Structure 1
Amino acid sequence: MNGDDKSIITYRIVFEEFNGKVNGYSVTDLDGAHETKNTIVGTYDKKTKLFSFQEKEILYTKSKFEESAFCFVNFSGKVKLVNNTSKVEGTFKGLYKNKTKCIDGTVTLVGSHKIYNFANKVNKKIQKSKKVDQETKNKVNPVKMIDSLKINKLSKDQNLNVFWESKKVVIEIFDAGQEDGDIINLYHNNVIILENYKISNNKKILSIPINLAVKNEFKILAVNEGLIVPNTAKIILIDENRTFELLSSFKRQESASITIIKKSSE
Structure 2
Amino acid sequence: MKHIITFFLLSFTVLFASAQQTHEFVGVIKLNDSSLISLKVVLIEQNNNISGFTLTDLGGEHETKTSIIGFYNEATNILDFKEVETIYTKSPVSEADFCYMNFISDNYRLGKSNKLTGKFKGLFPRQYRVY
TM-score (norm. length: structure 1):
0.35
Residues 42, 22 of structure 1: alpha-carbon distance in 2 compared, 3 angstrom cutoff: same
Give ranges in structure 2 of 5+ residues lacking alignment.
Answer: 1-28
Q: Which amino acid aligns with 1:16?
A: I
Q: Which amino acid aligns with 2:61?
A: A
* Partner residue, 1:79: 108
Residue 108 of structure 2 aligns to a residue in which SS? strand
Q: Displacement of 1:59 after TM fit?
A: 0.7
Residues 8, 65 of structure 1: alpha-carbon distance in 2 compared, 3 angstrom cutoff: closer
* Partner residue, 2:34: 6
* Partner residue, 1:99: 127
Larger RCO, structure (CA 8 Å, separation 6 or more):
2
The alignment status of 1:52 with 2:80, answered yes or no, reads yes
* Partner residue, 1:258: none
Q: Which amino acid aligns with 2:59?
A: D
Residues 20, 72 of structure 1: alpha-carbon distance in 2 compared, 3 angstrom cutoff: same
Residue 91 of structure 2 aligns to a residue in which SS? coil
Show the 5 A alignment for 1:238-249.
Answer: none
Provide the C-alpha distance between the structure 2 equivalents of 1:43 and 1:85, rounded to a whole number of angstroms. 16
Provide the C-alpha distance between the structure 2 equivalents of 1:33 and 1:48, rounded to a whole number of angstroms. 39
Of 39, 62, 68, 1:34 maps to: 62
Give ranges in structure 1 of 5+ residues lacking alignment.
Answer: 101-266
Structure 1 runs of 4+ with >2 Å offset:
78-81
Q: Displacement of 1:65 after TM fit?
A: 4.2
Provide the C-alpha distance between the structure 1 equivalents of 2:40 and 2:96, rounded to a whole number of angstroms. 23
C-alpha RMSD of matched pairs (Å) = 2.1
Provide the C-alpha distance between the structure 1 equivalents of 2:61 and 2:73, rounded to a whole number of angstroms. 35
Residue 64 of structure 1 aligns to a residue in which SS? coil
Provide the C-alpha distance between the structure 1 equivalents of 2:51 and 2:60, rounded to a whole number of angstroms. 24
User: What percent identity do the matched residue pairs reach?
Assistant: 39
Q: Which amino acid aligns with 1:75?
A: F
Q: Which amino acid aligns with 1:98?
A: R
Show the 5 A alignment for 1:1-266.
Answer: 1-77=29-105, 78-79=107-108, 86-99=114-127
Q: Which amino acid aligns with 2:38?
A: T
Provide the C-alpha distance between the structure 1 equivalents of 2:124 and 2:108, rounded to a whole number of angstroms. 26
Conservation of the 8 A alpha-carbon contact between 1:80 and 1:88:
no
Q: Displacement of 1:73 after TM fit?
A: 0.3
Q: Deviations over 1:108-156 (max 9, x none)?
A: xxxxxxxxxxxxxxxxxxxxxxxxxxxxxxxxxxxxxxxxxxxxxxxxx
Greater helix fraction, Structure 1 or Structure 2 = 1
Conservation of the 8 A alpha-carbon contact between 1:80 and 1:87:
no
* Structure index of larger Rg: 1
